[in-house]
């Protein structure tokens, strides 16, 4: 079923309203949808490299807005929806683990998870459930999602089709390096 859904999303990248579909997929993926917007962003950037920045901006804005929905789900519906499911699987104390992550590392959790292909919806819902500062959540989400999508667009625009294979194999490594660099930069700013 997931493969069929992925193929459908990939098909939408060639649709005449692909930009709208890209926004919808980016929005939904940040809170509940299983297919990442990369499935559309990559072929769209390859087909129209002159629009790569526009596509990255669409992904960023829609992803951050979708992240706010994920945050709201975690904040308002965690006990009603997620808590019973976690209890059924023997993970009733998961909320305390999430709170501990955000209390200890705060924005770094969002920066790391938002850049990597780890499902961003986990971060958005967990941030809401942990009542993480919504403004800090919004700012770090915009930074990290923007960095991820614009980096992808830059690589595809600059190197084209050969970059697609590299990205598919090494995206986690590439975005993890960027995440570490961003965190090091923020840590350096705190020391100044």
Q: Sign of torsion, CA 173 133 55 122?
A: positive
pLDDT of residue 189: 46
Please report, to the nearest 10 degrees, the dihedral formed by the alpha carbons of residues 70, 86, 95, 125 taken in order.
Answer: -10
Please tell me the distance from the alpha carbon of residue 183 to that of residue 105, in angstroms, as a whole number: 11
192 residues of the chain, pLDDT tens digit each: 566 766 777 777 788 899 999 999 999 988 878 788 988 898 899 889 999 999 999 999 999 999 999 899 889 988 887 676 556 656 566 566 766 777 777 777 777 766 665 678 878 888 888 888 999 999 999 998 999 899 889 988 988 877 767 666 665 666 666 566 655 655 554 554
Q: How far apart, in Å, are the Cα atoms of 64 and each of 126, 142, 148, 158, 173?
A: 15, 6, 12, 25, 23
- State the residue range of the domain holding 57: 2-191
Please tell me the distance from the alpha carbon of residue 43 to that of residue 156, in angstroms, as a whole number: 9
**145 with 67: CB under 8 angstroms?**
yes
Cβ contacts of residue 12 below 8 Å, gap of 6+? 18, 21, 22, 25, 40
* Residue 19: Cβ within 10 Å count: 15
pLDDT of residue 98: 65
Q: pTM score > 0.85 for this model? A: no
pLDDT of residue 35: 81
pLDDT of residue 69: 93
**91 with 108: CB under 8 angstroms?**
no
Please tell me the distance from the alpha carbon of residue 127 to that of residue 118, in angstroms, as a whole number: 15
Total tally of structural domains belonging to the chain: 1
The candidate with the shortest Cα–Cα distance to 21, out of 2, 3, 41, is 41
């Amino acid at each position: 079923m997931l493969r069929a859904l992925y193929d459908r999303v990939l098909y939408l990248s060639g649709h005449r309203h692909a930009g709208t579909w890209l926004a919808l997929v980016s929005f939904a993926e940040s809170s509940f949808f299983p297919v990442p917007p990369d499935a559309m962003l990559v072929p769209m950037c390859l087909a129209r490299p002159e629009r790569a920045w526009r596509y990255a901006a669409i992904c960023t804005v829609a992803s951050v807005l979708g992240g706010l929905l994920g945050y709201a789900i975690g904040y308002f519906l965690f006990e009603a929806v997620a808590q019973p499911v976690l209890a059924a699987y023997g993970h009733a104390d998961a909320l305390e683990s999430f709170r501990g992550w955000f209390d200890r590392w705060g924005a770094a959790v969002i920066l790391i998870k938002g850049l990597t292909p780890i499902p961003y919806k986990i971060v958005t819902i967990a941030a809401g459930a942990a009542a993480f500062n919504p403004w800090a959540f919004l700012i770090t989400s915009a930074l990290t999602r923007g960095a991820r999508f614009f980096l992808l667009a830059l690589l595809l625009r600059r190197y084209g089709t050969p970059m697609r294979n590299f990205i598919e194999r090494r995206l986690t490594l590439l975005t993890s390096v960027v995440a570490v660099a961003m965190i090091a930069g923020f840590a350096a700013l705190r020391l100044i």
